[in-house]
Amino acid sequence: MKTKLLILSFLLFSPFTKLFSQETTTQSDKKWRLEVEPLSFIYKGVGGQAMYQVSKKQDFNVGLYAITLQVPGSLEKSLFQGTSDGTDIRLGFELAAVARYKIPLFKTESNPVVGIIAGWENFQLTSATQSDLRIETFLTSLYVGYELYVFKKMLYVNPQLRGVTYIKPWSADNSRPEKLKSFALVPSLSIGVRF
């Protein structure tokens, strides 16, 4: 459901890009970006990234990404198999490198983006019937999104759809039935500022 909502939002906002970002010049002095994911606050966590522009054309950024949150119930079944009802799943921590390329389709700052996130994360599973379980994994995530500038080429909204691949998850108890699936589609929304 959230994936459909994210795709619908993307399709609705992309035609109105020129309304929000009418200037056609770029601001080359704004090389840093700071983004937060507001939904992480709703799910009892915090998440975001800091990036630096490394190209003169302002289309390529690299940085660090970190997040922790309670995994929403709507995502639990797409991420895990073998979990029982009532299992509490928390993304304990994710730390990753991120790279993003802005595709210059329009003559405004608002444009589609593609990127990659690569790093490590751990999940903590808590159940009333079993002992706690910690699952760690490496991951890569390819994503598509759209940077929609809403204020003076500084403040933007960035909806994304991420294809996350988990690489060789491990835990202290491999006999447990709870397993992390190898692939998941995860929607995301961030609010960012350039400075």
Q: Is 151 among the domain residues?
A: yes
- Nearest CA among 56, 146, 135 for reference residue 89: 135
pLDDT, tens digit (0-9, with 9 covering 90-100), for 22-70: 444 445 578 999 999 999 999 999 999 999 999 988 899 999 999 999 9
* 131 CB neighbour count, 10 Å cutoff: 10
Give the count of domains, the chain. Answer: 1
* Residue 144 Cα distances to 70, 135, 158, 193, angstroms: 24, 27, 10, 19
Q: What range does the domain containing 90 cover?
A: 2-173+184-194
Separation CA 116–CA 141 (nearest Å): 5
Phi–psi pair at 183, nearest 5 degrees: -145, 145
Looking at the predicted structure, is the pLDDT value of residue 12 above 70? no
> Which pair of structure tokens corresponds to residue 154?
């500084």
Q: Is 152 among the domain residues?
A: yes
Residues 142-162, mean pLDDT to the nearest whole number:
96
Q: Is 12 among the domain residues?
A: yes
Separation CA 195–CA 193 (nearest Å): 7
Looking at the predicted structure, is the pLDDT value of residue 146 above 80? yes
Q: Is 35 among the domain residues?
A: yes
Q: Is 140 among the domain residues?
A: yes
- For residue 28, count CB atoms less than 10 angstroms from its CB and return exposed for 0-12, middle for 13-18, buried for 19 or more: exposed
Q: Is 159 among the domain residues?
A: yes
C-beta of residue 148 within 8 angstroms of C-beta of residue 158 = yes
Look up the CATH number of the domain holding residue 46.
2.40.160.20
Q: Is 121 among the domain residues?
A: yes
Q: Is 52 among the domain residues?
A: yes
Is the pTM higher than 0.85? no
Separation CA 131–CA 19 (nearest Å): 54
pLDDT, tens digit (0-9, with 9 covering 90-100), for 82-139: 998 889 999 999 999 999 999 999 999 899 999 999 999 999 999 888 899 999 999 9
HSE toward the beta carbon, residue 166, CA cutoff 13 A: 21
